[in-house]
Amino acid sequence: MSKPKDPKRLLQYLDTFFGIRNNIKGDPKEGVNFTLETLTYMTSHNRADQITQMIVDKMKQQKLVPFGVFDATSGIGGNTLSFLENPAVQWVVSYELRPERRDMLKRNVAMYNLAKKSFVPDGPFQGVPEKYKGVVLYLDPPWLPEHIKGHESKKEDYLLSGIKIGNFTLEQWIQSCKHCAMVVMRVPPGYRLGQIPGFDITSQLLKNSLVIFATPRKQLTPLPSLTPITKSVLSPEESRWRKGLRNFLRETLKSILPKEENREQMLSNNSMDTWAVCFTYESYVAHIGKNYEKI
């Protein structure tokens, strides 16, 4: 039987978790960028890069680069940072359930100046919206029953089937993502996934974890739309900005479209997607609030 890990030992190896990214040497601080518990869950720098490369290679084979990634269970960002740094990745939406970890994740992304391609919604993962076709969904779920903390765990505690994220099993999340190019997950070696009709499953052992790739059998044609992140995952700042734009247009359109119903048609949610692009400088990045007015 294995012993619980000594989390303090991990502090000596901080560089193997953070290290250099985007030519920046990180200077992570306990309580700001990580806690001992989150460090035990964090995918190390090299391991994360190996997983990213496996995904990029598969996406290249399918001629689906560049692509977007939904990192459903980001923790403090071991995988997110690696995805963000890779030029084949267009953007990363990173969910984390716990607000304090989410804040650390945001600080870690900022520490490496990688915020441009990143978006961290304020809430748990709720699935990949249908409009994001051809993206990669990455799942790095907790491997332990809820009552066991990472730094108090032993290998024998790992779950080998039935892992859930929120209310749904991994199998159910995979089923919900037929519009994705692939769903990739990192689970304990020996993990048994149930039957998932319509998906091809392959796996690769990577040191002390198993990386599973679930690819929908139906080929994605035409090439995926690389729609930038829009309303379904809007930050509060962007929602405010869109509301302001809609009010501005409502007033401005009065002189051209006297009938209110015609104006409102021009301001539907779908139309607002187009207006937002027209009123947005090409370098605009949703969550850091840079738009044409400020440039």
Ligand X SMILES: C[S@@+](CC[C@H](N)C(=O)[O-])C[C@H]1O[C@@H](n2cnc3c(N)ncnc32)[C@H](O)[C@@H]1O
- Contact status: 85 vs ligand X (CB under 6 A): no
Specify whether the CB–CB gap between 211 and 186 falls below 8 A.
yes
Position among 28, 75, 134, 216 found at the interface with ligand X (CB under 6 A): 75
16's enclosing H/E stretch is: helix 14-17
Q: Is the Cβ of residue 123 or residue 190 nearer to ligand X in the bound state?
A: 123
- ∠ Cα 116 138 50 (to 5°): 85
User: Look-up: residue for tokens 């519009």?
Assistant: 179
- Contact status: 127 vs ligand X (CB under 6 A): no
Specify whether the CB–CB gap between 185 and 204 falls below 8 A.
no
Q: Please give the Cα distance from 76 to 105 (Å, whole number).
A: 4
Q: Is the Cβ of residue 19 or residue 124 nearer to ligand X in the bound state?
A: 124
Give the tokens for residue 202: 């392959």
- Contact status: 79 vs ligand X (CB under 6 A): yes
Position among 18, 36, 64, 74 found at the interface with ligand X (CB under 6 A): 74
- Contact status: 97 vs ligand X (CB under 6 A): yes
- Contact status: 140 vs ligand X (CB under 6 A): yes
Scan residues 22-51 and list those touching ligand X (CB under 6 A).
41-43
Answer positive or negative: Cα dihedral of 193, 217, 53, 102.
negative
Position among 101, 106, 179, 242 found at the interface with ligand X (CB under 6 A): 101
Please give the residue ranges that form the binding site for ligand X (CB under 6 A): 41-43, 72-79, 95-98, 101, 124-125, 140-142, 165-166
